[in-house]
Amino acid sequence: MIKKILIITLIFVYGCSSSINEEKIKSEIQEKKDNIVSLQSEIRGLEKQLVSNGMGEIENKIFVSVKKINPENFEHYYNVNGIVEAVNEAFISPEIGGTIKIIKITEGQRVRKNDLLAVLNSGVIESTILELENSLELAKTLFKKRAGLWEKKIGSEIQYLEAKNQKESLEQKIKTLNEQLGMTIVRAPFNGIVDNIDKKRGELAVPGLPIMQIVDISKVYIKADVSESYLSKIKIDDETTITFPSYPGMLRKGKILRVGTVINPQNRTFEVTVLIENYNELLKPNIVAVIELRDFYNVKAMIVPSIIVKNDNSGSYLYRIKNTENGLVSEKVYVKPGMVNKDMIMIKSGIEFGDEVIMKGYNFVKNGSLVKIAGIPEEAGNNE
């Protein structure tokens, strides 16, 4: 019962406190508004006093800052998602079948090209080579004797040819077996890291089935599918900027290495490949990358901050400076905007090179307002 009373009391006190604070804030706001009105009235009175005493005139010009429109470089980019792929990645399998005798490396170990990775059981091949080498010695002796007799026209040509064929046949078999013996030794095809090992010592290794995987990520590909509508706008060697959601703040520069020649009929895209250096090997295969591709550029564009371009029922407009008999005035000009890049917009028509457009103070002018060019704070051109 006491707890319930305490809770109700707290709620009542909190409600009263909130109500009091709200009333206090409203009161302060009204007081400040009254002060503004009072100050404005005093300012008008002082201005009239100046005029009546012949000491000056009321300054009714609006301070603005301007930008002269000159040819500038404008670029437009769009983003596509891609995937990181290793330049060199191989699933290692033996060229012949056999029991794994030795595995010389461990997962995560760095290896260099031609380093020994594993050895298969080669006992049968070695025994067969030894037997054939013994038979070859006899075949060489017989061939040598048959050749000597055949030079003296002793014996038949058939016997000479049979001895020669026997020797050469054994030599070829031994050569073939030595090549198979070399296949029992598995070596690294390139520099890289042993990512995983799928087989253990004593297990059977079969050609075509991997026993381990080696990856080289010192350089990586970024591959992305791009809409076919951009096919004519993307070219080999175009500069790109790549970011990675997994590494906020990381940025890499690269050039387009390859543009696909076939459109995927399923999603109407073509593949773009970018090659980049993988410093410190931070980028791993299959992580997501965002490629910024340039699809438009103009070295002689009219560019203004997009914030100064406004819209009404008649279209988009901005204000420029016009020189009249009464002095400088603001002129409302309807323009045809183009592409936007970040906070800048390209103007296609409506203004010309050499025009001075209002950059700050545009929210305080209208068509025909008297203006005065001066450096003013950034806030003067904003809505706040």
Sequential DSSP letters for 322-366: EEETTEEEEEEEEEEEEEEETTEEEEEESS-TT-EEEEESGGG--
pLDDT in tens, 65-106: 999 999 999 988 889 999 999 998 889 989 888 888 989 989
pLDDT tens readout for residues 343-371: 899 999 999 999 999 998 888 889 988 98
- Confidence band for 52, pLDDT divided at 50, 70 and 90: low
Beta bridge partners of 340: 345
How many residues in total does the chain contain?
A: 384
Q: Which CATH architecture has domain 90-205?
A: Beta Barrel (2.40)
Which amino acid belongs to residue 179? E
Q: What would the pLDDT profile of 130-161 be if each residue is shown by its tens digit?
A: 888 888 888 888 878 777 776 777 777 788 78
pLDDT over threshold 60, residue 377: no
- E strand or H helix that includes residue 290: strand 288-305
Q: How far apart are CA 348 and CA 86, in angstroms?
A: 44
Instruction: Tell me which architecture the domain covering 62-74+299-381 has in CATH.
Output: Beta Barrel (2.40)
Q: Which of 129, 88, 82 is nearest to 291 (CA)?
A: 82
Nearest Cα residue to 358 out of 145, 42, 63, 81: 63
For the chain, the farthest-separated pair of C-alpha atoms sits apart, in whole angstroms, at 148
Name the residue with tokens 């769009």.
78
Alpha-carbon distance of 229 to 339, in angstroms, equals 16
How much of the chain, in percent, has pLDDT values that exceed 70?
Answer: 84
pLDDT reported for residue 225: 94
pLDDT of res. 45: 63
Q: Give pLDDT, residue 283.
A: 93
Q: Kindly state the percentage of the chain with pLDDT values over 90.
A: 41
Mean confidence (pLDDT) of the chain: 83
Residue 47: the pLDDT is 56
Strands of 116-120's sheet, edge to edge? 185-187, 116-120, 98-103, 204-205
Supply the pLDDT for residue 50: 59
More confident site: 29 or 372: 372
Pick from 234, 288, 238, 237: nearest CA to 261: 234
Cβ(257)–Cβ(236) under 8 Å? yes
- At 157-207, the pLDDT tens digits run 788 788 888 888 888 888 888 888 888 889 999 999 998 898 888 888 888
- Overall pTM > 0.75: no
Predicted pLDDT of residue 352: 93
Cα–Cα distance for residue pair 365/351, rounded to 1 Å:
18
Q: What radius of gyration do the chain's Cα atoms show? A: 42
Tell me how far the alpha carbon of residue 35 is from its chain's centroid.
Answer: 55
Q: What is the mean pLDDT of residues 304-331?
A: 92
Closest CA to 98 of 130, 131, 129, 125: 125
Token couple for 89: 């990645």
Which CATH superfamily is 79-88+215-297 part of? Efflux pump adaptor protein, beta barrel domain (2.40.30.170)
Rounded to 5°, angle at Cα 39 from 38 and 41: 65
CB-CB contact of 157 with 150 (8 Å): yes
Could you tell me if 303 and 296 are in contact, meaning their C-beta atoms sit under 8 angstroms apart?
A: no
Domain boundaries, the chain: 1-47, 62-74+299-381, 79-88+215-297, 90-205
CATH topology match: 79-88+215-297 vs 90-205: no
* Phi (first) and psi of residue 176, to 5 degrees: -65, -45
Rounded CA separation 29/373 (Å): 34
Whole-angstrom Cα distance, residue 119 to residue 183? 9
Check residue 28 and give its pLDDT. Answer: 78
One-letter amino acid of 2: I
- What is the average pLDDT across 53-69? 72
Q: So what's the pLDDT on residue 274?
A: 95
